[in-house]
Amino acid sequence: MSFSEEILSWYDANKRDLPWRGERDPYRIWLSEIMLQQTQTETVKGYYARFLARFPTVADLAAAEEAQVLKLWEGLGYYSRARNLHAAARKVAHECGGVFPTDAAGLRALPGVGPYAANAIASIAYGEPVPALDGNQARVLGRVLAWEPELKTPFDLLKPAQSLISKDRPGDYNQALMDLGATLCLPKAPRCGLCPVAERCRAFREDAALDFPRKPAPVAKKEQDWTVLLMTCGDKLLVRRRPKGLLGGLYEFCAVEGWHDTEAVIAILEDMGFKNPVILEALPDARHVFTHLVWRMRGLRAACDAFPDAYTAVTPEQLDPLPFPSALRTYRGLVTRKQS
């Protein structure tokens, strides 16, 4: 048997039971692939079901407001995925007659669809023999081939991956490698004894599975300090919609960069346009780790008599439907508890 036949035969007997398995509708495959980027499969299942219940077709998603999409995405993180999802749905609905592009090259023209997602969708929905090289597939292939060059991206393995892919069942083959990487060829503890390709795996034969794939040294994450303020004006809380960029389009509380003593915070707030700001109490610290960045947050409860235009004063009921990033969940939780 060839490599792809061994992989497929293992897949037929061992594939994971996932809600998007067996799906041929490019809308549903696209949705699952975008959600699965950077997110655990178990977490995605619930979001996938809720999204499809609310937006059963690409036309339904295209017709939604961006804030509705972000609200439904709340907690999944990497919100640019949700903004791109919405923009891509609009593109399909308005520029492609409601029909998804039918090959990987066409799919890549959609916002947020990179080479991995394009190849995954094209192979699963249309049977195009293109490898869906994500971290899982790269780990399996990097080990099977004992690939010596450093992998800067999984697509560094494109050439060998292209030569190994099944031409008959490329979609199943790609999903088989995803499953193998997720269940057996694990990053820190590969279960080589159960692996269908152990005999042809060079890293296993050399007892060096953990040495592959070769990766560049990790870059240290940048740390940013913030003072987050649950600032009220009268009996309403002040929130602001974040501009484009990190967490763009989501809502946040008043925040001051850096950690400062009370007097300095008040002076900064006055400079920002808050009138008569006062600090009421200290709130817990929080920390959130992004891909390349860490936020270290100190919280304060505060009040003011007037506020700058960028902010909106909301009641707890009005706060509820607004999309907030998980990075602020500590402070968002304090609002709910305080006012319930």
- What secondary structure does DSSP assign to 270-294, as a single string? HHHT-BS-EEEEEEEEEEEE-SSEE
67 binds ligand SF4 (CB under 6 A): no
Residues in region 272-331 near ligand SF4 by CB under 6 A: none
Minimum distance from residue 1 beta carbon to ligand SF4 (Å): 15
Return d(Cα 170, Cα 127) in angstroms, integer: 6
- What secondary structure does DSSP assign to 8-60, as a single string? HHHHHHH----TTTT---HHHHHHHHHHHTTS-HHHHHHHHHHHHHH--SHHH
Residue 274 tokens, joined: 């808050």
Q: Which stretch binds ligand SF4 (CB under 6 A): 165-173, 189-197, 238-246, 263-271?
A: 189-197
Contact pattern for ligand SF4 over residues 124 through 143, marking x by CB under 6 A: ----------------x--x
Q: Which is nearer to ligand SF4, 7 or 44 (CB)?
A: 7
147 binds ligand SF4 (CB under 6 A): no
Residue 223 tokens, joined: 């740390």
Q: Which stretch binds ligand SF4 (CB under 6 A): 163-171, 186-194, 302-310, 329-337?
A: 186-194
Collapsing DSSP to helix, strand or coil, 192 comes out as helix
Residue 206 designated active-site:
no
Residues in region 230-269 near ligand SF4 by CB under 6 A: none
Minimum distance from residue 91 beta carbon to ligand SF4 (Å): 38
Collapsing DSSP to helix, strand or coil, 64 comes out as coil
Catalytic residue among 23, 33, 128, 252: 33
Of the residues 144, 247, 265, 328, which one makes contact with ligand SF4 according to CB under 6 A: 144
Residues in region 196-215 near ligand SF4 by CB under 6 A: 197-198, 201, 203-204, 209
Of the residues 70, 104, 161, 184, which one makes contact with ligand SF4 according to CB under 6 A: 184
192 binds ligand SF4 (CB under 6 A): yes
Q: Which is nearer to ligand SF4, 120 or 144 (CB)?
A: 144
332 binds ligand SF4 (CB under 6 A): no
157 binds ligand SF4 (CB under 6 A): no
Minimum distance from residue 203 beta carbon to ligand SF4 (Å): 5
- Closest to 330 in 3D by CA, of 298, 304, 292: 298
Return d(Cα 76, Cα 63) in angstroms, integer: 22
195 binds ligand SF4 (CB under 6 A): yes
Of the residues 8, 145, 146, 185, which one makes contact with ligand SF4 according to CB under 6 A: 185
Residue 290 tokens, joined: 């992004």
Residue 261 tokens, joined: 């003593």
- Closest to 243 in 3D by CA, of 231, 230, 252: 252
Minimum distance from residue 170 beta carbon to ligand SF4 (Å): 19
- What secondary structure does DSSP assign to 217-259, as a single string? PPPPPEEEEEEEEEEEETTEEEEEE--SSTTTTSEEEEEEES-
Amino acid 232 reads T
The single-letter DSSP state of residue 295 is E
The owner of tokens 């609009």 is 90
The answer to whether 118 and 30 are in contact (CB under 8 A) is: no
Minimum distance from residue 184 beta carbon to ligand SF4 (Å): 5
Q: Which is nearer to ligand SF4, 209 or 228 (CB)?
A: 209
Active site residues: 33
The footprint of ligand SF4 (CB under 6 A) covers 140, 143-144, 184-185, 190-192, 195, 197-198, 201, 203-204, 209
